[in-house]
Amino acid sequence: MTDPLTCWRAHADACVLLDGFHALKHALRFGAEVPVAVTTDRAAALALAEELAGDVREALDTLLTEVPAKTYASLVPRPHPTGVAALAVRPSREANVRALARTPRTAPVVVLDNPRNLGNAGAVIRLAAGFGATGVVTTGTLDPWHPTVVRGGAGLHFATAVERLGVDELPAGPLFALDPEGEDIRGTKLPDDAVLAFGSERSGLSAELRARADHLLALPMRPQVSSYNLATSVAMTLYHWSATGGAPAAS
Ligand SMILES: C[S@@+](CC[C@H](N)C(=O)[O-])C[C@H]1O[C@@H](n2cnc3c(N)ncnc32)[C@H](O)[C@@H]1O
């Protein structure tokens, strides 16, 4: 058997870090390829799996190698309370672009137009996964697979298609851009093939995205408030889609 540290080093460049038990659990659940997983306490991690993730317990049993706390600490930016870390293969751009372009679409694509905050991007990917959205596209320079975004997404990048694209490469479908100056969203039923676009935390929607938009929609907000946080805006919009007919049933 290859020593876990050698295996980790061999895969580190082509993979993303799964930080903690829950990120690893989600990634396995949604089909991620995980070449290496370590823990400081195998028995505790498997007990957690028994309690919270019976569906992936066997996979975890096969994958997890116990390592000394010092070795684990050398692999992660800061130790996670569960003492679990793993590497997962990042899906190819081609696979993501294919998934985003597939029609007919049964759930919207979320577009973040030049987002700046890595935590917001992670929270949005988690939301998209929860609502069964087709994917999350970012425009601009932020890498939606940045380690901080992956941490914020709790391993749920593997439950949806996450890719950076140009505005001119966005998937087909009616584009609904969210902006406080738009029409009240409550008067609109969002179709399953909608492309839902949200502006940057700093400057809102870009001129390029606005020019491409078919509809401009506003979330209800009293006049003295300028705007909502980006991730909460996505949450309200996906909830609106779900409440007006879309989205998988709650379990
Ligand atoms: C923090 S806001 C951007 C604020 C920015 N300073 C601006 O000038 O628009 C980030 C994004 O969230 C969405 N958003 C926030 N509040 C909204 C509202 N009341 N209605 C519709 N979209 C909203 C928009 O897509 C917006 O571009």
173 lines ligand 1 (CB under 6 A): no
Average pLDDT for 165-190: 97
Query: What is the pLDDT, as a whole number, of residue 250?
Result: 64
Q: Which of 89, 117, 133 is the last residue of a domain?
A: 89
Do 148 and 32 lie in one domain? The reply is: no
**In which domain, by residue range, is 22 found?**
4-89
Do 156 and 229 lie in one domain? The reply is: yes
Query: What is the pLDDT, as a whole number, of residue 245?
Result: 84
Q: What is the pLDDT of residues 11-36, one digit of tens each?
A: 998 899 999 999 999 999 999 999 99
Do 167 and 237 lie in one domain? The reply is: yes
Do 139 and 180 lie in one domain? The reply is: yes
Q: Residue 57's domain is classified under what CATH number?
A: 3.30.1330
183 lines ligand 1 (CB under 6 A): no
**Contact 203/213 with Cβ under 8 angstroms?**
no
Query: What is the pLDDT, as a whole number, of residue 247?
Result: 61
Residue with tokens 């879309």: 246
**Two tokens at 62?**
């096969």
Computed from CA positions of residues 19, 22, 28, 32, in that sequence, does the dihedral angle turn out positive or negative?
negative
Best of 176, 215, 233 to mutate for ligand 1, by most ligand atoms within 8 A of CB?
233
CA of 160 to the centre of ligand 1 (A): 24
- Mean pLDDT for all residues in the chain: 95
178 lines ligand 1 (CB under 6 A): yes
Query: Is the model's pLDDT at 2 over the cut of 80?
Result: no
**Contact 145/162 with Cβ under 8 angstroms?**
yes
121 lines ligand 1 (CB under 6 A): no
Query: Is the model's pLDDT at 144 over the cut of 60?
Result: yes
Average pLDDT for 130-147: 96
216 lines ligand 1 (CB under 6 A): no
Evaluate whether residue 224 is within a structural domain.
yes
227 lines ligand 1 (CB under 6 A): yes
**Contact 27/155 with Cβ under 8 angstroms?**
yes
- Put simply, whether the predicted model's pTM sits higher than 0.85 gets the answer yes
Q: Which of 58, 89, 120 is the last residue of a domain?
A: 89
Count CB neighbours of 181 within 10 A.
9
Query: What is the pLDDT, as a whole number, of residue 248?
Result: 65
Report percent pLDDT > 90 for the chain. Answer: 93
State how many domains the chain has.
2
The torsion defined by the Cα of 99, 100, 106 and 111, in degrees rounded to 10, comes to 150
Query: What is the pLDDT, as a whole number, of residue 249?
Result: 59
Evaluate whether residue 177 is within a structural domain.
yes
Do 110 and 15 lie in one domain? The reply is: no
Residue with tokens 């959205």: 133
Do 50 and 36 lie in one domain? The reply is: yes
Evaluate whether residue 35 is within a structural domain.
yes
Do 149 and 229 lie in one domain? The reply is: yes
Q: Residue 153's domain is classified under what CATH number?
A: 3.40.1280.10
Do 52 and 138 lie in one domain? The reply is: no
Do 123 and 209 lie in one domain? The reply is: yes
- Amino acid identity of 165? L
Do 199 and 147 lie in one domain? The reply is: yes
Query: Is the model's pLDDT at 172 over the cut of 90?
Result: yes
219 lines ligand 1 (CB under 6 A): yes
196 lines ligand 1 (CB under 6 A): no
CA of 178 to the centre of ligand 1 (A): 7
CA of 168 to the centre of ligand 1 (A): 22
CA distance linking residue 204 with residue 134, whole number of Å: 23
Identify the CA nearest to 197 among candidates 182, 186, 187, 189.
182
**Two tokens at 90?**
């990042």
Identify the CA nearest to 111 among candidates 156, 146, 182, 163.
163
Q: Which of 89, 117, 148 is the last residue of a domain?
A: 89
